[in-house]
């Protein structure tokens, strides 16, 4: 963005009036893009969740789906057609070079989804055209999207999809402006649609300096304010999202009063937060799963014996106890214990170095081999300390003759490289954005009907039985049957060992006592609308 060149953190702070109500939030990384369709990164979604809205959303602090840009919806008797009644009078934000001439309507919904659905759409390939959530969750199922009138849109599925409404609450499916896209196309700058955002949410982007800060300004015409919904109304004069990759630094800045909210502090620092006179410790039961995944593009990892050997070589209990600071659970199930569908009887692969050596020898590696082991560089609920976890795995593997080089990158680069298939053994994970077990298994371990791995399936594991079970579970509405199918899918993943499940834990947040109204999300994105600073 041209307007952000030369900005520094001091300038971002100084731009507000002296007595303005400014909220500073210490976040863990830079947004990789400014269009939600092109990302499933939780760090990016935290930023974009303040700017954009979807048709529906998850209610703050709960698992309930609530109306957003759609006031209501109905479902056909056959479970295939969802008709959304759109909210009238919703205003679009402006940008430096664009001023909207109309309110949000069905054309915006059509543009948003046709961009992702149609390979020949003018915006389909702009900025890479990698629509992660759509490709993973809807591309094979969504038959059509039809404009009924200016305020009614119908989505028709090829077959019933039980988690459809939950999927629509995903931040990656937020609505973008068709009028803005048309203006950019005419100006010859379509790429700016994903770099200079125009949304309907409570805040608009004012400035951004990569790896330093994002500055948001209140959008006072947002629809939440228009309907007098305090939870969706911006109460602040400015929001500064200060970027600090180091969890200790984020907490130090919060304790010094430089940030009123510090995301993802180290779990081991709970006592320090609890003893602080200025901070509250907010613990949230976030459903998440972290894992290491083996790259099936590597010949050695195609051999199940190699994958089993590496799984059996990890001493999982001390790793989980230390990395998750006593808040994790040792499990072999990809669906976490906090969510229905979890298979509590599916334990981790037993720690057995001798069996691991035997399996390696049978696979033709009696003396082991060398590989890279990637470490998540930011603190997330599914992986609070990627470097420490990688070092513990590295030490365990060394005992069976496997030399692992620990590799990491800046978070945005890490994600890009991992999705490009560069990680030999990648550390990855996810946080559930909606309350349905399908999200993480589908995101990270499935392939589409043509055999192409989903963008976050960084190991490129395409298992027909697993995919079939996941698809079947998504097509039935009976929860007991779905649980049965999800358990079968988890057993298949555990048996084939494309990944080793490391776990997940509740998230903690350091929040200044002067902050009121901040409700961390259990599913999806935490909102800063409705938040005040005393």
CATH code at position 46: 3.90.76.10
**Going by C-beta distance under 8 Å and a sequence separation of 6 or more, which residues neighbour residue 461?**
293, 294, 296, 445, 453, 496, 498, 499
Count of structural domains within the chain: 2
Distance CA 346, CA 238 (A): 47
Residues spanned by the domain of 142 = 2-260+509-533
Asked whether residue 152 falls in the same domain as residue 14, the answer is yes
Asked whether residue 344 falls in the same domain as residue 402, the answer is yes
pLDDT tens digits, residue range 395-428? Answer: 999 999 999 999 999 988 999 999 999 999 999 9
Answer whether residue 1 shows pLDDT above 50: no
Answer whether residue 517 shows pLDDT above 60: yes
Distance CA 185, CA 191 (A): 9
Q: How sure is the predictor about 504, in pLDDT bands with cuts at 50, 70 and 90?
A: confident
Q: CB neighbours (10 Å) of residue 217?
A: 18
Asked whether residue 296 falls in the same domain as residue 243, the answer is no
pLDDT tens digits, residue range 21-53? Answer: 999 999 999 999 999 999 988 889 999 999 999
Asked whether residue 353 falls in the same domain as residue 431, the answer is yes
pLDDT tens digits, residue range 104-155? Answer: 999 999 999 999 999 999 999 999 999 988 988 899 899 999 999 999 999 9
Rounded to an integer, the average pLDDT of 420-446 is: 93
CATH at 331: 3.10.105.10
Asked whether residue 482 falls in the same domain as residue 514, the answer is no
| Residue tagged 């990384």 (tokens) | 29
Asked whether residue 209 falls in the same domain as residue 343, the answer is no
* Domain membership flag for residue 277: no
Asked whether residue 311 falls in the same domain as residue 457, the answer is yes
Structure tokens, 25: 């939030």
pLDDT tens digits, residue range 94-107? Answer: 998 999 999 999 99
* Domain membership flag for residue 385: yes
* Domain membership flag for residue 39: yes
Asked whether residue 447 falls in the same domain as residue 521, the answer is no
The model carries a pTM of: 0.81
Q: How sure is the predictor about 19, in pLDDT bands with cuts at 50, 70 and 90?
A: low
Q: How sure is the predictor about 379, in pLDDT bands with cuts at 50, 70 and 90?
A: confident
Distance CA 96, CA 122 (A): 23
pLDDT tens digits, residue range 144-169? Answer: 999 999 999 999 999 999 999 999 99
Structure tokens, 314: 């990890």
Answer whether residue 281 shows pLDDT above 70: yes
Asked whether residue 27 falls in the same domain as residue 145, the answer is yes
Asked whether residue 525 falls in the same domain as residue 409, the answer is no
Asked whether residue 483 falls in the same domain as residue 518, the answer is no
pLDDT tens digits, residue range 165-219? Answer: 999 999 999 999 999 999 999 999 999 999 999 999 999 999 999 999 999 999 9
Q: Burial code of 462-485, b = ≥16 C-beta within 10 A, e = fewer? A: bbeebbebbbebbbbeeeeebbeb
Distance CA 324, CA 129 (A): 36
Rounded to an integer, the average pLDDT of 234-252 is: 96
Q: Which long-range contacts (CB under 8 A, 24 or more apart) does 45-48 make?
A: 45/171, 45/172, 45/433, 45/524, 45/525, 46/241, 46/263, 46/525, 46/526, 47/214, 47/241, 48/171, 48/174, 48/197, 48/199, 48/525
Structure tokens, 503: 């776990």
Asked whether residue 524 falls in the same domain as residue 391, the answer is no
């Amino acid at each position: 963005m041209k307007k952000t060149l030369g900005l520094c953190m001091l300038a971002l702070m100084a731009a507000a009036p002296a007595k303005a109500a400014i909220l500073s939030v210490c976040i863990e990384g830079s947004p990789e893009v400014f269009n939600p369709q092109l990302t499933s990164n939780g760090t990016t979604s935290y930023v974009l969740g303040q700017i954009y809205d979807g048709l529906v959303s998850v209610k703050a602090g709960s698992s309930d789906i609530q109306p957003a840009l759609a006031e209501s919806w109905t479902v056909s008797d056959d479970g295939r057609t969802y008709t959304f009644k759109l909210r009238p009078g919703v205003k679009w934000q402006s940008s430096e070079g664009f001023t909207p001439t109309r309110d949000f309507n069905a054309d915006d919904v059509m543009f948003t989804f046709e961009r992702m659905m149609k390979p020949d759409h003018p915006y389909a390939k702009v900025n890479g055209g990698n629509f992660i959530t759509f490709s993973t969750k809807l591309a094979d199922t969504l038959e059509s999207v039809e404009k009924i009138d200016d305020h009614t849109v119908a989505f028709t599925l090829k077959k019933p999809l039980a988690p459809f409404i939950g999927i629509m609450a995903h931040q990656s499916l937020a609505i973008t402006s068709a009028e803005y896209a048309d203006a950019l196309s005419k100006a010859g700058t379509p790429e700016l649609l994903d770099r200079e955002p125009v949304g309907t949410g409570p805040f608009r982007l004012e400035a951004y300096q990569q790896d330093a800060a994002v500055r948001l300004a209140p959008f006072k015409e947002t629809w939440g304010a228009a309907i007098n919904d305090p939870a969706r109304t911006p109460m602040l004069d400015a929001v500064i999202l200060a970027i600090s990759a180091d969890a200790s630094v984020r907490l130090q800045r919060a304790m010094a009063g430089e940030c009123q909210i510090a995301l993802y502090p180290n779990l081991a620092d709970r006592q320090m937060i609890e003893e602080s006179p200025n901070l509250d410790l907010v613990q949230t039961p976030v459903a998440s799963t972290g894992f290491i995944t083996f790259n099936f593009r590597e010949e050695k990892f195609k051999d199940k014996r190699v994958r089993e050997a590496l799984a059996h070589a990890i001493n999982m209990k001390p790793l989980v106890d230390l990395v998750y600071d006593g808040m994790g659970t040792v499990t072999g199930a990809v669906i976490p214990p906090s969510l229905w569908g979890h298979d509590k009887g599916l334990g981790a692969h037993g720690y057995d170095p001798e069996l691991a050596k035997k399996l390696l020898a049978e696979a033709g590696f009696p003396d082991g081999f060398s590989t890279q082991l990637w470490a998540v560089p930011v603190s997330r609920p599914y992986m609070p300390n990627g470097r420490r976890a990688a070092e513990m795995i590295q030490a365990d593997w060394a005992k069976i003759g496997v030399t692992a080089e620990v590799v990491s990158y800046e978070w945005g680069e890490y994600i890009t490289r991992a999705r490009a298939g560069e990680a030999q053994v990648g550390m990855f994970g996810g946080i559930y954005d909606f309350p349905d077990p399908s999200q993480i298994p589908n995101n990270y371990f499935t392939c589409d009907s043509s055999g192409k791995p989903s963008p976050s399936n960084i190991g490129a594991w395409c298992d027909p039985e697993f995919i079939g079970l996941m698809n079947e579970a998504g097509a039935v509405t009976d929860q007991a049957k779905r649980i049965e199918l999800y358990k079968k899918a988890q057993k298949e993943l555990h048996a084939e060992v494309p990944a080793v499940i490391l776990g997940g834990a509740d998230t903690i947040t350091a929040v200044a006592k002067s902050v009121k109204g901040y409700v961390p999300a259990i599913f999806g994105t935490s909102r800063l609308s409705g938040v005040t600073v005393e």
